[in-house]
Amino acid sequence: MNSAISSHHTPVVAVVDPNLAVTESLEALLRAETGYQILTYNLPVQAVENLKLTPPDLIIAAFKMPEMNGLRLLGEIKKMYPDVPRVLLTEEADMECLIKGINEVGLFQYIQKPWNDEHLLLIIKNGLANKNLHQTLQDKIHEIDQVLNQRNVLFEAQNVMQRELTLAKQVHTKLLLPRKIRLNGILINVQYKPSFEIGGDFYDVISLANHRVAIMIADLTGHGIQAALCTALLKFAFTAFKQSSAEAIEILQGMNEILYKGLPQDIYAAALLAVIDTETWKCKIVNGGIPHPFLLSRRLGRVEKLFASGMMLGLFENNVYEPGIEAEIQLGKKDTLFLFTDGLTEIRQRKDSFFGDHLVADTIIKFSAQTSESIIKYLVHTALEFKKGSEHLDDITVLAIDRSQNPRQRKHIS
């Protein structure tokens, strides 16, 4: 549970509820499942006074309490610690109360009694990680803004910016997986070509519960330092579901919730998830703004476009967000699933001539006798040849996903 929390600080979680059984139950759960420091209070006034001396990293408060209700208490905490995530514990989903809470005290989330332990732990984990990542993003962006404002020392500012770019590139490079990935009987080959020193495309792979693997390809708006920092949040939003039993749609919805709250204004992400059951080889695909993937069947000698589409991530709250319809395929022994960002299909030859889906499909069929690794190399090469010197300012990322020829090789990615 502590993977997203700084190893130099033990997170402090405060719980305020007038019911002693509730505070004891939550304290027992958190002590058993986490390494957090737990503070419990049954009187809200006492909680406010004590928390002045011990700043919390996250607070959970019941709505109905004597002396002051939960919203008022959370409002006092907001005045003292504006960045601390505030969670309301309610007897029932009172929409008027929740809207008031969001508008007045900036609730991070609410939990309805009786709670689900796994759901509650995930909310706390995401809240703590969101606090840390938000602070890191704000600090870094603030540093960059300060550098850019030093116009009177241009040469020094340029040197500082170059160092920041180098650091951001190192961060981005460490976040990316290798160009060849083997995990639980799946082989993934990658072609990644950023248009700038630091790109906005990203890909990642995690193990899920029940013999499943989740593969993500994403495209963040922007490039450079901002893209590198936001990629860290995107990776956290995805890997938060590692070893979970969540379905593809649930993962995309959970990622949207984190990105909506954590991404800077005007930054959003397109992302596609493919979840493969490595025992049945059924693959479920849910899309949030990435081009439609293609499935190559070498046995049938054809390429099929898989129609899965949905809304981009980080634009809307979860009560508005729609992940789209889930597509499901059977991944055969000689089949290859191709995922790619729009940097491939939107390469232009002339003003209105795009490389497009049809040339992607034609190229895959043309080289279908080759290995998947060779096909995506030819695919990127053909697309870049297509533009014939025209400027192209977008990243290109292509993933080729196969069943490994050596199914016993079940290497894990940490």
Q: What is the CATH number of the domain that holds 187?
A: 3.60.40.10
Q: Residue 99 has what pLDDT?
A: 72
Residue 409 lies in a domain: no
Strand order across the beta sheet in which 186-193 lies:
180-183, 186-193, 396-403, 335-340, 294-297, 302-305
Question: Considering the entire predicted model, what is its pTM?
Answer: 0.59
| Residue at which a domain ends, from 110, 126, 142 | 126
Same domain for 153 and 195, yes or no, is no
Mutual angle of helices 117-148 and 248-262, in 10-degree steps: 40
The dihedral formed by the CA atoms of 353, 355, 358 and 364, expressed in degrees to the nearest 10: 160
CA–CA separation, 226 and 6 (whole Å): 22
Q: Residue 7 has what pLDDT?
A: 52
Q: Residue 27 has what pLDDT?
A: 96
Positions of the chain with pLDDT lower than 50, given as ranges: 1-6, 409-414
Residue 101 lies in a domain: yes
Q: Residue 98 has what pLDDT?
A: 67
Under 8 Å between Cβ of 17 and 42? yes
Residue 41 lies in a domain: yes
Identify the sign of the CA torsion 221, 224, 225, 229. Answer: positive
CA–CA separation, 251 and 214 (whole Å): 9
Look at residue 389 and give its three-state secondary structure: coil
* Helix or strand (DSSP H, E) at 400: strand 396-403
Q: Residue 94 has what pLDDT?
A: 62
Q: Please, what's the b/e burial string for 37-69 (b: 16 or more CB within 10 A of its CB; e: otherwise)?
A: bbbbbbebeebbeebeeeebbbbbbbbebeebb
Smallest CA-to-CA distance from 63 within 54, 73, 53 is with: 73
CA–CA separation, 405 and 389 (whole Å): 39
* Containing structural domain, residue 121: 12-126
Residue 6 lies in a domain: no
CA–CA separation, 45 and 215 (whole Å): 48
| 218 DSSP β-pair partners | 202, 271
Q: Residue 109 has what pLDDT?
A: 87
Same domain for 142 and 197, yes or no, is no
Look at residue 287 and give its three-state secondary structure: strand
Residue 219 lies in a domain: yes
Under 8 Å between Cβ of 298 and 368? yes
Same domain for 176 and 65, yes or no, is no
Domains of the chain: total: 3
* Helix or strand (DSSP H, E) at 353: strand 353-354
Same domain for 209 and 294, yes or no, is yes
Same domain for 184 and 157, yes or no, is no
Q: Residue 324 has what pLDDT?
A: 81
CA–CA separation, 135 and 295 (whole Å): 41
Same domain for 31 and 81, yes or no, is yes
| Residue at which a domain ends, from 145, 168, 191 | 168
Same domain for 154 and 51, yes or no, is no
Residue 392 lies in a domain: yes
